[in-house]
Structure 1
Amino acid sequence: MEEPTSVIELLSSSQNSRDQGPNEELAARIAGENDHKAVKELVAHLSDKSKAIQNDCIKVIYEIGERNPKLIANYAPDLLPLLKSKNNRLQWGAMTAIFTISSERPEWVYAALPEILAAAELGSVITKDNAVNTLIRLCTYEAYADNCFDLLNEQILKSPVNQLPMYAERAFTVITAANKSIFVKSLNSRLADIEKESKRQRVEAVLRKIQKHFPDS
């Protein structure tokens, strides 16, 4: 049996597969082999005439990013325009990929925050989730911490109620004595919005956790 001549032949849609198994296997292989040629081909096909191939390519790209972010980091400028794509799968897939490379190219991602947050404002839940994840990661860099925390706090104040507990839990990792008070104030201001008891309890648990870690601040 001949080996496929193109990485595109290994995508789920090219294999007539209805699940993501082939895409995930392909991503694992490319990431493990540090296959730059394959990544270049996947990026080139993000504008393929076939929507199925577009969707498979972005899936493989962000799966590679989760395993080996350095391998896709140089393609960040190719991902950014996809945040405005009418293909929702491309949009949130690109945001997911950008999050994966935020540890490799924090300076580029920080500079791209206006576009990232604009896309989050209009995008799907997954798009919003990964924009928030990106802000949280950037908060771990001293150069960006203050500005990114302010932007993160804005997201907490206006996030959909369904997402609020998860955002609060994830944001806890970047809470400091210096920003604790404003974060607590923001969470307390949202408690009345949360009708579902289990979700409110999750936010209250974060508030208790903050108080435990910063009892005197």
Structure 2
Amino acid sequence: MVLEKLAISQNRKDESPNVELAEQLVVNSDREGISELIRGLQLSKGIANDCIKVLYEIGECAPLLIADYVAVFLDCLMSRNNRLVWGGMTALNSIADCEAKAIYTQIDKVKTAYENGSVITVDNSISVFSKVSKANPQYEKEIFPFLMKHLETCRPKEVAQHAERIVVCVNEGNRALFIQILDKRCTELSSAQSKRVAKLIKRVNVQAAEV
């Protein structure tokens, strides 16, 4: 059984067994084992925590192996177990490119987790929003303004990192607004942060010139 290989089942406090299990499941394309992990999310907190860890590690390497469980990961965002919330968001980040439509239909769950979640939840939610926005002009109309409001109001130390996550959905139609907001925020940033943002703006402008 896959659950027997989890860290908690081996009385281990480190994540090595979970990472190794994820690697094995990816190598073997073990969909039955992945299904067992999904069922494990409904078991005790310790088992569920290890299961979500293995699942998002799989998603990092082979997103299509967990893509069918997008609805499960969206439900994780509503959990009272914070580990499942940020783990679920991490998993969604790995599959957002191929499951944008499914995520968009329940985008309110992502927004709720963004509004109430931990730093890891928020970081990954920005990537999820950005990938979904990129997938469809209709999705962009709703999500890109939301992302720009976040970029205008997030903590200065988050501006560069989150802008780098958002840039995947920047295009000809919204580039000017993206750059305008970054230019405005630069007055609040440290020298190192400003340089990081300037480098990103330069990259966006170079890409636009090449189109």
Compute the TM-score of the two structures, normalised by the length of structure 2: 0.88
What is the RMSD of the two structures over their aligned residues, measured on CA atoms? 1.9
Q: Which runs of 5+ in 1 are unaligned?
A: 1-5
Listed as ranges, the matches of 1:202-217 within 5 Å are: 202-214=196-208
Q: Which amino acid aligns with 2:88?
A: A
What is the distance in 1 between the residues matched to 2:64 and 2:4?
Answer: 24
Among candidates 42, 62, 71, match of residue 47 of structure 1: 42
1:59: how far off? 0.2
Among candidates 26, 34, 38, match of residue 31 of structure 1: 26
1:41: how far off? 1.3
Among candidates 182, 187, 190, match of residue 192 of structure 1: 187
Q: Percent identity?
A: 33
Between stretches 33-42 and 199-208, larger displacement belongs to: 199-208
1:156 aligned onto 2:151? yes
1:120 aligned onto 2:114? yes
Task: Please say if residues 114 and 122 of structure 2, whose CA atoms lie closer than 8 Å, have aligned partners that are also in contact.
Answer: yes
Q: SS where residue 104 of structure 1 aligns?
A: coil
1:173: how far off? 3.5
Listed as ranges, the matches of 1:14-163 within 5 Å are: 14-49=9-44, 51-143=45-137, 144-163=139-158
Among candidates 172, 179, 183, match of residue 174 of structure 2: 179
User: When the two structures are aligned, how many residues end up with a matched partner?
Assistant: 208
1:52-107 per-residue CA deviation (whole Å, 9 max, x = no partner) reads 21110000011111222222222222222221223221110000111112122211
Describe the shift of the 1:85–1:204 C-alpha distance in structure 2 as closer, same or farther (beyond 3 A): same
Q: 2:162 corresponds to which residue? A: 167
Compute the TM-score of the two structures, normalised by the length of structure 1: 0.86
What is the distance in 2 between the residues matched to 1:72 and 1:211?
Answer: 35
What is the distance in 2 between the residues matched to 1:137 and 1:76?
Answer: 14
1:211: how far off? 4.1
Q: SS where residue 114 of structure 1 aligns?
A: helix
Task: Please say if residues 6 and 50 of structure 2, whose CA atoms lie closer than 8 Å, have aligned partners that are also in contact.
Answer: yes
What is the distance in 1 between the residues matched to 2:32 and 2:204?
Answer: 46
Q: Which runs of 5+ in 2 are unaligned?
A: none
Q: Which amino acid aligns with 1:42?
A: L
Describe the shift of the 1:211–1:106 C-alpha distance in structure 2 as closer, same or farther (beyond 3 A): closer
Q: Which amino acid aligns with 1:137?
A: K
What is the distance in 2 between the residues matched to 1:133 and 1:20?
Answer: 24
Q: Which amino acid aligns with 1:202?
A: R
Based on CA coordinates, which of the two structures has the bigger radius of gyration? 1
1:23: how far off? 0.6
Q: 1:3 corresponds to which residue? A: none
